[in-house]
C-alpha cells in the first residue's frame, strides 16, 4: 500500500518538477525560434543571451516581436487555465470555464461599443482608423470591470453558487444581444474591425503594454495559489467546507475576483480566446490522475502555458507568412480535447474536479 502511494506521488512529482518545466522551456524556445524570418537557433540563443547578432534586425525581431508574443502566450495560457480550474471547482461543474461569469462578454461589449458605436456617437469617439491598441484595451477593461462589479455585488447577495452561474450565463446572452444590435447599425469596416478583435491575438502586445499586463496576470496567479487549500475543501461541497472553517462567502468572492482579474485582463489585451480554460484543467487532472489542488494548481498553470505555446506555434504556420487567428486554433484544438474527455470517461462527473 505504501509502495502504491509513493508511486502515485512520485509520478506527480516527476511531472511537476521535470516533464512540465522541460516541455515549457523547450516550447518557449521553439516558439521564439519559429517565424517568417529564418534565424538560426544558435544565433537566436546568442541574441537572447548577449543581445548581439550578425544582423541588427534579428535582434529587433527577437526582442520586439517574438519575445513579447511568446511572453503573452505564457501569460494567457497560465491565466486562462487557472481561471478555468477555479470556476470548475467553485461551481462543481466540468463545463465551467473562465468566461461563465460573463466577464468576456463584458469586454466584448466594451470593445464593440468603441469600435462600432462611433457611428451612433459620432464625434464623441475617434474615427475607426485612429482607434489605437490602448483604446481597445481600455474599452475591454471597462466592459469587463463593469460586469465584474455587477457579479461581485450579486455574489454578495445570493447564497447559491449555482444562481451565480446562471446569472453569469444570462449576462453573456444579454451582452451578446447588445453587440448584435450594435453590429446591425454598423458599417462593414467597423464590423470587420470588431470581428478581427474576436479572432484573438497574442502578437499585438508591445513591451509598453506588457509592463501593465505582466503584473496583473502574475498577481492573479498568486491569488489562485493562495486559494488552493479552500479549493480542496470546496470539492466536497460548500456545507462541508463551511463546517471545516472555510469562510465560503469570502473564498467565493476571492475566486470570482481572481478569475475576473485574469479572464478580464486577458480578454481586454488579447481578445477572446476559447477552450483553453475548459480543456486544460481536465488534461491536468487526467495526466496527474488527481483532483487535489495542491498539485493541480501548479500543473494546470504549467500545462496551460505548454498548450498555449503549442497552439501559438501551430497558428503561425511554421515556414509561412500567415498567422492564423489564435481563437480558431485553440477551439480547433480544445473542442476535440473536450469531446475526447467526455467520450473517454464513463462518468464525467467522477473524472471531473
Partner 1 sequence: MTHETSHIVLETVNLAVGYRSGSSKKTILDRINLKLERGNLVCLLGENGVGKSTLLKTISGVISPLSGDIFIDGTPLYRISQKALAKKISLVLTGTQKPGILKVRELVALGRYPYTGWGGGLSADDHKKIDRALSLTNIDYMAEENVATLSDGQMQKVMIARALAQDSDMMILDEPTAFLDVNNRLEIMHLLKMLAWETKKAILVSTHDLDTAFHTADQLWLATCCLPITTGCPEDLIVQGEIAHLFDHEAFTFDHWSGRFKANFKSVKRIFLVGEDKYHLWTRNGLERIGFKVTNEEAPLKLTILSDRNPRRWSLSFKEECHDFNGIGDLIRFLRSHTLSD
Residues that bind partner 1 (CB under 8 A): 1, 4-5, 8, 92, 226, 228-229, 232-233, 235-237, 239-240, 242-247, 285, 289-292, 294, 347, 349-353
Shortest distance in whole angstroms from residue 276 CB to partner 1: 20
Distance, CA of 253 to CA of 260 (rounded, Å): 10
State which residue, 298 or 315, has the beta carbon closest to partner 1.
298
Nearest to 260 by CA among 147, 135, 111, 96: 147
State which residue, 139 or 251, has the beta carbon closest to partner 1.
251
State which residue, 47 or 353, has the beta carbon closest to partner 1.
353
Shortest distance in whole angstroms from residue 280 CB to partner 1: 16
CB 275 within 8 A of CB 334: yes
Beta strands in the chain (DSSP E): none
Other C-beta atoms lying within 10 Å of the C-beta of residue 183: 15
CB 352 within 8 A of CB 94: yes
Distance, CA of 48 to CA of 198 (rounded, Å): 32
State which residue, 88 or 267, has the beta carbon closest to partner 1.
88
Write the DSSP symbol of residue 158. -
Shortest distance in whole angstroms from residue 169 CB to partner 1: 20
Shortest distance in whole angstroms from residue 37 CB to partner 1: 45
State which residue, 66 or 285, has the beta carbon closest to partner 1.
285
CB 271 within 8 A of CB 201: yes
State which residue, 246 or 310, has the beta carbon closest to partner 1.
246
CB 316 within 8 A of CB 34: yes
Distance, CA of 37 to CA of 256 (rounded, Å): 42
Nearest to 276 by CA among 315, 226, 242, 244: 315
Shortest distance in whole angstroms from residue 224 CB to partner 1: 13
Shortest distance in whole angstroms from residue 290 CB to partner 1: 6
CB 114 within 8 A of CB 135: yes
How many residues can be counted in the chain?
353
Shortest distance in whole angstroms from residue 248 CB to partner 1: 10
DSSP result, 333-345: HHHHHHHHHHHHS
State which residue, 320 or 350, has the beta carbon closest to partner 1.
350
Shortest distance in whole angstroms from residue 162 CB to partner 1: 12
Shortest distance in whole angstroms from residue 87 CB to partner 1: 15
State which residue, 198 or 219, has the beta carbon closest to partner 1.
219
- Name, in order, each residue with C-beta under 8 angstroms of 352's C-beta and a sequence gap of 6 or more: 88, 93, 94, 282, 285, 291
Q: How many CA atoms lie within 13 A of 238 on its CB side?
A: 13
State which residue, 42 or 239, has the beta carbon closest to partner 1.
239
Distance, CA of 176 to CA of 170 (rounded, Å): 10
**For the chain, what is the radius of gyration of the CA atoms?**
21
> Which 3 state secondary structure label does DSSP give 267?
helix
State which residue, 58 or 352, has the beta carbon closest to partner 1.
352
Distance, CA of 92 to CA of 113 (rounded, Å): 34
Amino acid at each position: 500500500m505504501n509502495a502504491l502511494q509513493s508511486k502515485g506521488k512520485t509520478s506527480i512529482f516527476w511531472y511537476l518538477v521535470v516533464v512540465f518545466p522541460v516541455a515549457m522551456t523547450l516550447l518557449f524556445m521553439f516558439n521564439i525560434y519559429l517565424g517568417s524570418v529564418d534565424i538560426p537557433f544558435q544565433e537566436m540563443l546568442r541574441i537572447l543571451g548577449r543581445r548581439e547578432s550578425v544582423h541588427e534586425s534579428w535582434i529587433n525581431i527577437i526582442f520586439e516581436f517574438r519575445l513579447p508574443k511568446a511572453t503573452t502566450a505564457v501569460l494567457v495560457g497560465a491565466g486562462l487555465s487557472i481561471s478555468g480550474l477555479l470556476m470548475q471547482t467553485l461551481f462543481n461543474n466540468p463545463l465551467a470555464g473562465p468566461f461563465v461569469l460573463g466577464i468576456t462578454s463584458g469586454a466584448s461589449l466594451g470593445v464593440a461599443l468603441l469600435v462600432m458605436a462611433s457611428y451612433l456617437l459620432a464625434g464623441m469617439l475617434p474615427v475607426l482608423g485612429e482607434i489605437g491598441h490602448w483604446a481597445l484595451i481600455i474599452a475591454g477593461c471597462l466592459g469587463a470591470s463593469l460586469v465584474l462589479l455587477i457579479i461581485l455585488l450579486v455574489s454578495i447577495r445570493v447564497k447559491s453558487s449555482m444562481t451565480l452561474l446562471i446569472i453569469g450565463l444570462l449576462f453573456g446572452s444579454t451582452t451578446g444581444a447588445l453587440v448584435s444590435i450594435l453590429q446591425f447599425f454598423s458599417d462593414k469596416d467597423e464590423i470587420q474591425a470588431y470581428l478581427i478583435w474576436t479572432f484573438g491575438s497574442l502578437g499585438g502586445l508591445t513591451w509598453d503594454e506588457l509592463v501593465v499586463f505582466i503584473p496583473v496576470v502574475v498577481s492573479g496567479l498568486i491569488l489562485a495559489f493562495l486559494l488552493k487549500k479552500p479549493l480542496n475543501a470546496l470539492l466536497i461541497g460548500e456545507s462541508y467546507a463551511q463546517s471545516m472553517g472555510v469562510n465560503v462567502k469570502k473564498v467565493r468572492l476571492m475566486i470570482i475576483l481572481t478569475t475576473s482579474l485574469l479572464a478580464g485582463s486577458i480578454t481586454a489585451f488579447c481578445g477572446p480566446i476559447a477552450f483553453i480554460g475548459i480543456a486544460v484543467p481536465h488534461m491536468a487532472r487526467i495526466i496527474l490522475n488527481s483532483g487535489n489542488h495542491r498539485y493541480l494548481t501548479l500543473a494546470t498553470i504549467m500545462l496551460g502555458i505548454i498548450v498555449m505555446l503549442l497552439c501559438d506555434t501551430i497558428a503561425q504556420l511554421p515556414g509561412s507568412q500567415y498567422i492564423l487567428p489564435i481563437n480558431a486554433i485553440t477551439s480547433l484544438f480544445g473542442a476535440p480535447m473536450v469531446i475526447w474527455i467526455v467520450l473517454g470517461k464513463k462518468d464525467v462527473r467522477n473524472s471531473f474536479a
